[in-house]
Amino acid sequence: MSDVTVEAVADAMYAMVKECHGKRQLKAIDLTKAMAERFGDACDKPLGKEAIRLLIEDERCTYSYIGGSYIVLTPEK
C-alpha cells in the first residue's frame, strides 16, 4: 500500500472518530498512530497531520478543548 492518499487516511480517521463517538475521546496522536498501524510505513506523521487538517477544513471533525485537545465529530447545527 505505498500509494496511500491523504483522502484515504482522512476517511479512515473519520470512521474511527465516528466509531468512538460517545465512548472515548481521541487525541490527534491517537489517530496518527492508529493510521500508521493500519497503513504501515506508507502513513507517516506528516501525512497524518495533513489528513487531520483535511478533516477539520472539510468540517467533518473539530477540536474539543475540554480537559485536553481532542478531535470529535462536528456538532449538528
- Per-residue pLDDT, 1: 43
Q: Which amino acid is at 10?
A: A
What are the tens digits of pLDDT across the range 23-45? Answer: 999 999 999 999 999 998 888 99
Q: Is the dihedral of CA 21, 33, 37, 35 positive or negative?
A: positive
Average per-residue pLDDT for the chain: 91
In the predicted structure, residue 6 carries a pLDDT above the cut 90: yes
**Strand, helix or coil for residue 26:** strand
Per the model's pLDDT, the better-predicted residue between 75 and 7 turns out to be 7
Is the domain spanning 6-73 CATH 1.10.10? The answer is yes
Query: pTM for the whole thing?
Result: 0.88
| Nine cell digits for residue 27 | 487525541
Domain ranges for the chain:
6-73
d(CA 9, CA 36): 10
